[in-house]
Structure 1
Amino acid sequence: MDILTLNDYVNRAVYGEWMMLVFILVGLYLSLRTGFPQLLRLGVALRETLGAIRERFLSFGGQITPFQAAMVAMSATIGTGHIIGMVGAVVLGGPGAVLWMWVAYLVGMATKFSEAVLAVHFRRQYTDGSVLGGPMVYIRYGLGRRMAWLAALFALFTAIAAFGIGNLSQSGAVGAALAQEFNVPPAVTGLLVALLVGILLAGGIRSVARFAQMIVPLKLVLFLLAILPLIVIHLESLPAALALVFSSALSFQAAAGGAAGAAVSLGLAEILKAGVGRGIFANEAGLGSAAIAHAQAQVDHPVRQGFWGLTEMLLSLTVTTLMALTFIASGLWQRFLGGDRVEAARALFAEHPLGVAMLGLMLAVFALGTMVSWGFYGEEGAAYLFGEGIRWPYRLTFVTFAFVGPMGGLAALTSVADTLNGLMAIPNLVALLALGGLVGRLVREFFSGMPWQPPEED
């Protein structure tokens, strides 16, 4: 059995139905342990995050503000999957997939909240002011020395996966969008992307954070400029689209679908897989990647940063929901059911006043932001494994891949990295299950007014 065949087997397992069930069950468990903060503490979360953006906790460790840490995480999370991927979920699972996407987001909020709490609680702060944190750190120091191998696995998966999901896939998307809509040669795109990513990564987390706090608002503004005209065009159909989401969630028979207009029948399994799968891998809750960013926050209590995890998920959910409902309201889902998601997205944006060029611009900006944050994630994983000396070699390698990505190729590496991205979830979910009680205790202490006490180093 060659490496690609083995990768195919593993890929089907880590992105399969059983793994999705694990994500949901872990999210439910953490919801119970933390008192359902996504429902009962959402108002508090919004006040502590969007209502307190200007607050800084400079004497409480970390290198960047809580807002900047959340922006780094959101820059990675809100990517092309929120546009093309969301259209793809409807194309694969019909309108009912959206309801199951909402379910995945709802339970995933507790997961993302817990990841951010643990990231701050167990982070390592060094004498030079630098911080190392994330699942590899809370696995190592939360579960003890005997589980150091599991922490190393997470770090290894992250360091390699970043070259695929965070680099080749994203730079390829930038190259394709600019070439198709603006006739920019892939080599030119690769050079410009590589230079920008290289400069930002060279400046470390503070440089990445400054970029993220600009690019995320730009992403959201671009998305609104892209989606609002389409919403206006299909405004009358939106209530029917919403009703169809609920009526199609448990069983669905499509009258017609696919490019040829052939009849397509979808069972509950296909609808669940399309919706839950898109929900999980759009918001990255359970993968642990966002925790690497949240660990860098200058915050006085881990739970306070956990609230940013909830807010991050809420904004991500808003983007995916608006995208999905607009696509359903357009009626194009019937024509493309079982077909190509990229062509379906292009058909939708052909109705935009600025045409498909708006889609190309949005995808390019979304992908670029994802690349920078994932470059930092991968670098942190490599630094955990090999020490600080690996940072510059890793950055240079990452930049080289960023240059190559728009020109295509390296499909095998992209496929393997995509599998490793899914495998990141396994050690992270193990740690979340083991440390869920600790997260619950930290939440209770926060609301009772008890000061936070970082754990003693072993």
Structure 2
Amino acid sequence: MLSFIETINGYVNDFVWGVPAMICILGVGLVLSFRTHFIQLRKFGYALKNTIGRALHKTKAADGATTPFQSLCTALAATVGTGNIAGVAGAIAIGGPGAIFWMWVSALFGMCTKFSEVTLAVHFREKNKDGDWVGGPMYYIKNGLSKKWHWLAALFSVFGVLTVFGTGNATQVNTIIASIDSALSNYHVVSADSMGTVNLVLGIILAGLVALVLLGGIKRIGSVTEKLVPFMALLYILMALGVVIVNYKNVPAVFGMIFKGAFDPSAITGGVVGTVFMSVKKGVSRGIFSNEAGLGTGSIAHASADTKYPVRQGLFGIFEVFVDTIVICTLTALIILCSGADFEYGVAAGAELTISGFVATYGGWVSVFTAVAMCCFAFSTILGWGLYGSRCIEYLFGTKIIKPFMVVYSLVAIIGATADLGLIWGIAETFNGLMAIPNLIALFLLSGTVVKLTKDYFNKYANAPDAKAS
């Protein structure tokens, strides 16, 4: 039965992440970029000034909302996760170093895609019965398009609910457990026979922690993520830079491999990765798996921001993709390729490949750091996707279902800690792709609204005194 499901999922995955999907994802990003005159490049400096700069100012959000920075951290909590560590490693192993180049290309357009998603989410958001701001693809479809398109909102929400249990929870918990198990086994803290019991206990603890945060509502989620995300991202960046500095002589050759491998993968991989399409496919799909540009999920968190200007919050979308993919994913690639970590092209790889890059540079003790880093990355992802799932199921069934959903979602952590999730990883990637379809259609149809909102903001409000405080 499992082999049959794997076969079916393989066919669906090949279609979802095939040529049509690549054209749609990059095509919509290209259309939005042209229509906004490449705002992600033209206003990049302005975006940094109004994201990093605003993060340094302490603000208090109104009831039912989060501060703009908390919204960013909640979105980054979901995006900066195992995809940055395991996803990049998998892209290099299967698609060759050239996959990183195509990851950059998808991120370039993805910055504008996410800017558009966030802008529309804030513009078309609404208050729910509990007084919280809610928004995202389902709401900009519902409030921005005619009724004949509303089925797309329901479709997105259904795919969203199905995705969060795998992508957002079980696979993340499994990564946490694998990291802790690796650290414990290296130091012989726990015997192999006792590992199953330890994993179960860890799963129960994680389930309790997830429930404690998620049941506290959007404000508690924002409060936790604004502390956890900057810490984990900065720690990882510093450790990764250490690897690059130690192996600085290899950096030029690595970038040469990335650029050459993007157009001639076989020259770098010895013929194992022989097609440019495989390099493009792995680069784009893993990039989207990491930064979520095109999925629309990150805009759900941004919709709760206490701001009057949708475009100003949209700038956080540009910053988010830049940090996630251009900075963190690139550093992960350099960890693997600069350190001389031993791996075989064409053979699936994950976080263990990134960890081997750290170990090759720092020694065995770094396995403790990687365990802590993976725990932070994965736990933050669980929180972010928990919010996404609750908003999707709320759209379908109303606010009364939110708390029961949060309880069930939290308990899935126990499954993730104790089960073999090989198939779930594949299904998660498939549902990620399916979520993108209704969202990309909506973005294309609402591209004119994005252009109008952007022009209005920069013509009327960008330099207004009250805009700087919003």
| Structure 1 length-normalised TM | 0.91
The answer to whether residue 329 in structure 2 is matched with residue 320 in structure 1 is: yes
Partner of 2:274: 266
Counterparts of 1:22-61 in structure 2, within 5 Å, are 22-53=24-55, 54=57, 56=59, 58=61
Q: For each residue in 1:163-206, what CA deviation from the matched residue of structure 2 results, as whole angstroms up to 9, or x when unmatched?
A: 00001100111111111212572112101110110000111111
Residue 17 (structure 1) shift: 3.0
Paired residue secondary structure (1:248):
helix
Q: d(CA) in 2 for partners of 1:18 and 1:390?
A: 36
Partner of 1:113: 115
With over 3 angstroms needed to count, the CA separation of the structure-2 counterparts of 1:430 and 1:368, relative to structure 1, is same
Partner of 2:205: 192
Partner of 1:79: 81
The answer to whether residue 246 in structure 2 is matched with residue 233 in structure 1 is: yes
Q: For each residue in 1:381-427, what CA deviation from the matched residue of structure 2 results, as whole angstroms up to 9, or x when unmatched?
A: 00110001101110111011012211014665665444222211011
The answer to whether residue 173 in structure 2 is matched with residue 165 in structure 1 is: no
The answer to whether residue 157 in structure 2 is matched with residue 155 in structure 1 is: yes
Partner of 2:21: 19
Paired residue secondary structure (1:86):
helix
Q: Which residue identity is paired with 1:141?
A: N
Residue 256 (structure 1) shift: 6.1
Q: Which residue identity is paired with 1:131?
A: W
The answer to whether residue 455 in structure 2 is matched with residue 444 in structure 1 is: yes
Unaligned residue ranges in structure 2 (runs of 5+): 185-189, 465-470
Q: Which residue identity is paired with 1:438?
A: T
Paired residue secondary structure (2:307):
coil
Residue 20 (structure 1) shift: 1.7
Q: For each residue in 1:351-382, what CA deviation from the matched residue of structure 2 results, as whole angstroms up to 9, or x when unmatched?
A: 22433332222112111110011011101100
Q: Which residue identity is paired with 1:216?
A: V
Q: d(CA) in 1 for partners of 2:7 and 2:359?
A: 39
Q: Which moved more, 1:223-232 or 1:136-145?
A: 223-232
Q: d(CA) in 2 for partners of 1:129 and 1:284?
A: 27
Unaligned residue ranges in structure 1 (runs of 5+): 258-262, 453-458
Q: d(CA) in 1 for partners of 2:461 and 2:92?
A: 46
CA contact (8 A) 1:238 1:326 kept: no
Partner of 2:341: 332
Partner of 2:390: 379
Q: Which residue identity is paired with 2:233?
A: L
Paired residue secondary structure (1:147):
helix
With over 3 angstroms needed to count, the CA separation of the structure-2 counterparts of 1:101 and 1:413, relative to structure 1, is closer
With over 3 angstroms needed to count, the CA separation of the structure-2 counterparts of 1:255 and 1:115, relative to structure 1, is closer
Partner of 2:127: 125
With over 3 angstroms needed to count, the CA separation of the structure-2 counterparts of 1:367 and 1:450, relative to structure 1, is closer
Aligned length: 445
Q: d(CA) in 1 for partners of 2:358 and 2:281?
A: 26
The answer to whether residue 286 in structure 2 is matched with residue 284 in structure 1 is: no
Residue 249 (structure 1) shift: 1.8
Q: Which residue identity is paired with 1:190?
A: G
CA contact (8 A) 1:119 1:291 kept: yes
Q: Which residue identity is paired with 2:409?
A: F
Aligned alpha-carbon RMSD (Å): 2.3
Residue 6 (structure 1) shift: 3.8
Q: Which residue identity is paired with 1:279?
A: G
The answer to whether residue 405 in structure 2 is matched with residue 394 in structure 1 is: yes
What is the aligned counterpart of 2:315 among 296, 307, 312? 307
Q: d(CA) in 2 for partners of 1:406 and 1:360?
A: 15
Residue 4 (structure 1) shift: 5.6
Q: Which moved more, 1:337-346 or 1:401-410?
A: 337-346
CA contact (8 A) 1:194 1:403 kept: yes
Q: Which residue identity is paired with 2:339?
A: S
Q: Which residue identity is paired with 2:368?
A: A
Q: d(CA) in 2 for partners of 1:90 and 1:344?
A: 10
Partner of 1:245: 258
Q: Which moved more, 1:79-88 or 1:198-207?
A: 79-88
Paired residue secondary structure (2:266):
strand
Paired residue secondary structure (1:83):
helix
The answer to whether residue 177 in structure 2 is matched with residue 175 in structure 1 is: yes
With over 3 angstroms needed to count, the CA separation of the structure-2 counterparts of 1:110 and 1:332, relative to structure 1, is same
The answer to whether residue 301 in structure 2 is matched with residue 296 in structure 1 is: no
What is the aligned counterpart of 1:346 among 337, 355, 361? 355
Q: d(CA) in 2 for partners of 1:233 and 1:15?
A: 37
Q: Which residue identity is paired with 2:261?
A: S
Partner of 1:429: 440
Partner of 1:103: 105
Q: For each residue in 1:26-57, what CA deviation from the matched residue of structure 2 results, as whole angstroms up to 9, or x when unmatched?
A: 00001112221110000111111111222648
Q: Which moved more, 1:406-415 or 1:117-126?
A: 406-415
Q: d(CA) in 1 for partners of 2:425 and 2:330?
A: 28
Q: Which moved more, 1:86-95 or 1:315-324?
A: 86-95
